[in-house]
């Protein structure tokens, strides 16, 4: 008897996760940075007559917390482990001058006539538009123009480019369907963006930012002194070791004073030349504030600006108790119940967003505690979305939403949360961030004999002596990222 195969109806049981309306709303609110959240709350207050907001209640300084949905402030203390030990602020930082507390002016200063800095006047254009408007001065094709616009849009509000080029290349591919490479981004960054005004824009860290300004604005002996200071004695400068700087640069007291005056004219925030109020699209309001006290305790505060404290109107609660007799009364009561339900759900979603934000930032602080204490990016530890998710018990997608478009104000500047997520390489068998490898590579090249520059093979050997396990092609890639030419081009 032949087997007959036919079609039939079968029931298959599968599991499918469905988000509740509250979860969907919470996800959407979590994605919003502070300014957008404020607009979203204002819209909800306009649309729902039974939802009311009491302004100013959410920012009372007396409300301090420890991690629940009601919390606004969090303190991270040392754990007593080896990793957390001896992260005190060096005493040299107290040797500040004028209005500078870290050797570098906090606010942008105008350059004098001798600095050849093109002043940015009082204008209504945004910093983004100001830079895009300069693209016409360069010979770029359509593809390069699109890449440049995205590169400009990736700048932090201070004008620095803290997003790694490999990440920008990935974002262009995924979100813009534009194919590019780190090499092309490096070329456009150094030959186009970093040549724009104001000087220093596009620097990948403060060191590069100030170096770009020195190269453009100074000449002669002053330029040589500043370049030597930033390239060879940056650590001394960062810690304000002025006596050592005076000794290694062979300066007398008057020359040292003049050098410090030149440094004060440099702008650590070239993106602030146009201010932050000319374009809402590019203004950044930090979502968190992280401060470190003299005892090594890290204090984190969730910045809620002037967000109102949301409540349901007492009138709504009273009307819900009134029985509905007629059809119109029942329709009105059903509408009231729907609006009150929506209002309560919105309030709950705001509370869940707050809890999620706090948990995520607390985890980042815990994982990157040395950086928050010192501000040295080489102290960053390799950290992935999974690491924060495991520490907080949240989904990776939730951590990603919190980290996207959120910023934190620290003692060392403003950083995008996604900046703290870094890949790693191996040093003595332990995983360290790529930034630490880049820093070591830069130090080796800066200390080389310029008449006999080191080849990539020699750089590999010297890095391995320091414990960094890298291949030759990796060194060439990192050298390109740092804007370091090959040995033939470095020979003097």
148/168 Cα distance (integer angstroms): 11
Mean pLDDT, the chain, integer: 75
Answer whether 386's CB lies under 8 Å from 421's CB: no
What residues form DSSP beta bridges with 312?
51
Residue 266: predicted pLDDT: 85
Q: What is the mean pLDDT of residues 59-73?
A: 36
What's the confidence (pLDDT) of residue 188?
A: 93
* Residues 168 and 154 sit within 8 Å (Cβ to Cβ): yes
Per-residue pLDDT, 471: 79
- Residue 189: what pLDDT? 93
pLDDT at 453 over 50: yes
pLDDT over 70, % of the chain: 75
pLDDT at 281: 38
- In eight-state DSSP terms, residue 250 is T
* pLDDT confidence of residue 112: 35
The model's pTM is 0.48
* pLDDT tens for each residue of 281-307: 345 688 999 998 888 899 999 988 778
Query: Coil, strand, or helix at residue 475?
Result: helix
Distance CA 20, CA 341 (A): 14
Dist CA 100 CA 240 (whole Å):
11
pLDDT tens-place string over residues 382-403: 888 888 999 999 988 888 888 8
User: What mean pLDDT do residues 241-264 have?
Assistant: 88
Backbone angles phi, psi at 422, to 5 degrees: -130, 150
pLDDT range class, residue 259, cuts 50, 70, 90: confident
Measured from the Cβ of residue 429, the count of other Cβ atoms closer than 10 Å reads 7
Percent of the chain at pLDDT exceeding 90: 16
Q: Which three-class secondary structure state does DSSP give residue 143?
A: helix
- Residue pair 116/216 in contact (Cβ under 8 Å)? The answer is yes
Q: How far apart are CA 443 and CA 91, in angstroms?
A: 24
Phi-psi region of 469 (alpha: psi -120 to 50; beta: other; left: phi over 0): beta
Going by pLDDT thresholds of 50, 70 and 90, the confidence category of residue 77 is low
- Nearest of 486, 386, 377, 387 to residue 434 by alpha carbon: 377
Is the Cβ–Cβ distance between 199 and 116 less than 8 Å? Answer: no
User: pLDDT digit string (tens) for 99-137?
Assistant: 333 333 333 333 333 332 333 333 345 777 788 888 888
Top-confidence residue, 119 or 166: 166
Tens digit of each residue's pLDDT (9 = 90 or more) over 305-353: 778 889 988 887 777 777 766 777 777 778 888 888 888 999 999 999 9
Q: How far apart are CA 126 and CA 138, in angstroms?
A: 20
As beta bridge partners, residue 468 has 427
Give the pLDDT confidence score for residue 302 in this predicted structure: 92
Residue 150's alpha-carbon distances to 185, 420, 474, in angstroms, are: 10, 21, 26
Instruction: State the Cα angle at 420 between 417 and 423, rounded to 5°.
Output: 135
Would you say residue 18 has pLDDT above 70? Answer: no
Q: Of residues 318 and 235, which shows the higher confidence score?
A: 235
Q: Which stretch of 115-124, 257-266, 411-420 has the lowest confidence by average pLDDT? A: 115-124
Q: What is the mean pLDDT of residues 157-180?
A: 83
Of 5-19, 55-69, 123-137, 369-383, give the range with the top mean pLDDT.
369-383
- The mean pLDDT value for 27-52 works out to 87
pLDDT of 40 above 70:
yes
Q: Is the pLDDT of residue 458 over 50?
A: yes
Cβ atoms of residues 416 and 163 within 8 Å: yes
Which of 109, 123, 50, 31 minimizes the C-alpha distance to 404? 31
- In the structure, what pLDDT confidence band is assigned to residue 492 with cuts at 50, 70 and 90? confident
């Amino acid at each position: 008897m032949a087997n007959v195969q036919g079609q039939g109806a079968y029931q298959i049981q599968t599991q499918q996760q469905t988000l509740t309306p509250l979860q969907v709303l919470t996800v959407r609110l979590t994605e919003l940075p502070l300014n957008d959240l404020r607009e979203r709350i204002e819209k909800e207050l306009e649309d729902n007559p039974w939802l009311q907001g009491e302004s100013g209640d959410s920012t009372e300084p007396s409300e301090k917390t420890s991690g629940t949905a009601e919390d606004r402030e969090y303190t991270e203390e040392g754990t007593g482990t080896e990793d957390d030990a001896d992260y005190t602020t060096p005493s040299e930082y107290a040797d500040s001058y004028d209005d500078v507390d870290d050797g570098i002016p906090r606010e942008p200063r105008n350059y004098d006539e001798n600095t050849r800095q093109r002043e940015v006047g009082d204008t209504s254009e945004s910093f983004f538009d100001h830079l895009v408007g300069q693209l016409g001065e360069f010979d770029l094709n359509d593809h390069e123009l699109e890449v440049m616009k995205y590169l400009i849009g990736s700048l932090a509000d201070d004008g620095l480019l803290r997003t790694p080029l490999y990440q920008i290349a990935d974002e262009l591919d995924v979100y813009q369907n534009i194919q590019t490479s780190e090499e092309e981004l490096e070329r456009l960054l150094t030959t186009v963006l970093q040549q724009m005004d104001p000087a220093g824009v596009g620097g990948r860290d403060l060191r590069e930012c100030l170096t770009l300004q020195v190269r453009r604005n100074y000449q002669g002996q002053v330029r040589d002194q500043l370049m030597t200071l930033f390239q060879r004695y940056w650590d001394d400068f960062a810690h304000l070791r002025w006596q050592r700087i005076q000794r290694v640069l062979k300066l007398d007291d008057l020359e040292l004073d003049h050098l410090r005056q030149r440094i004060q004219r440099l702008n650590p925030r070239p993106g602030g030349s146009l201010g932050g109020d000319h374009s809402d699209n590019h203004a950044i309001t930090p979502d968190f504030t992280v401060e470190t006290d003299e005892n090594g305790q890290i204090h984190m505060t969730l910045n809620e600006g002037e967000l109102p404290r949301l409540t349901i109107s007492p009138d709504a609660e009273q009307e819900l108790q009134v029985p509905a007799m007629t059809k119109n009364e029942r329709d009105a009561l059903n509408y009231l119940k729907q609006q009150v339900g929506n209002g309560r759900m919105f309030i709950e979603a705001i509370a869940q967003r707050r809890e999620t934000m706090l948990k995520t930032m607390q985890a980042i602080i815990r994982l990157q505690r040395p950086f928050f204490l010192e501000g040295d990016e080489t102290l960053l530890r390799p950290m992935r979305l999974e690491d924060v998710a495991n520490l907080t018990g949240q989904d990776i997608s939730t951590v990603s939403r919190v980290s996207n478009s959120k910023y934190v104000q620290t003692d060392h500047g403003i950083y995008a949360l996604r900046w703290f997520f870094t890949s790693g390489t191996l040093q003595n068998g332990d995983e360290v961030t790529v930034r630490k490898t880049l820093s070591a590579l830069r130090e080796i090249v800066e200390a080389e004999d310029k008449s006999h520059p080191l080849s990539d093979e020699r750089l590999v050997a010297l890095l391995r002596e320091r414990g960094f396990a890298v291949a030759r092609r990796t060194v060439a890639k990192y050298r390109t990222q740092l804007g370091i030419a090959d040995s033939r081009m470095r020979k003097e």
